[in-house]
Amino acid sequence: MNELIGLISLAIAVISYSLYITHTLKGYTKPHAITWLVWGLLNGSVFFEQLAGGAGPGAWVTAAAAVANLFIFGLALRLGERTVTRFDWVCLALVGVLLLTWALIADPVIVVFLAITIFLLGLFPTLRKSATQAHEETASTYALNGFKFFLALLALNTITVTTALYPLVLFLVNCGFALYLVVARYYQGKAVIIERKGTLRGRAKKTRRR
């Protein structure tokens, strides 16, 4: 059963990242390089932890995610978001500190909290960007990733902090961010329409005066 869920999760991961990569290549999506670098490093670290622990099918998805994340990072350097703020660099610096801490910590509970914090720090630069440019993200990728982590929860044999907290948080955050993008696009789209109407009215008034 776990192998089947692992294969389904792998298929979802391939579809979700393929959508994101395709949208990036077409210019619809502009990934933030720091976000995808952080997630690539995070998934790579988790994969090696799983490998050392003798993980089975669950590690396939993590490995695929790490490769996809780093590939998107490469695309982001050429086609992604050009504005990198001090806030974004601070997030990256904190991630570096937490990854070093991870290497020195053996407590699995602390490692889980470190992984969650690193994931959120990676998301923050994209969240900041999406506050004004939600249309430059692929919401379906995050929704599919949320579903992928939901399946990971179903595949668990035992529910503990170390096994369930990480996929639970990523399920909630991915789905929540996908919903945020949809809502933000709606309101940002309305703001653009209102701005355009105001511009057109201003031009019409100038024309009448002439």
Question: Which helix (H) or strand (E) is 106 found in, with range?
Answer: none
| Residue 146 or residue 7, greater confidence | 146
139-154 helix and 2-26 helix, angle to the nearest 10 degrees: 170
Q: Which two tokens stand for residue 152?
A: 């990971």
2-26 helix and 58-79 helix, angle to the nearest 10 degrees: 10
DSSP 15-56: HHHHHHHHHHHHTS----HHHHHHHHHHHHHHHHHHHHTT--
Domain residue extents for the chain: 2-209
Of 159, 73, 169, 178, which Cα lies nearest the Cα of 112? Answer: 169
- Kindly report, residue by residue over 152-186, the tens digit of the pLDDT: 888 777 788 888 899 899 999 999 999 999 999 99
Query: What letter does residue 155 receive in the DSSP assignment?
Result: T
The CA distance from 89 to 78, in Å, is 18
The CA distance from 210 to 117, in Å, is 60
Asked whether 58 and 151 are in contact (CB, 8 A), the reply is no
Mean pLDDT (whole number) for 34-63? 82
What's the maximum distance between 2 C-alpha atoms anywhere in the chain?
78
Residue 44: pLDDT over 80: yes
Q: What is the pLDDT, as a whole number, of residue 63?
A: 84
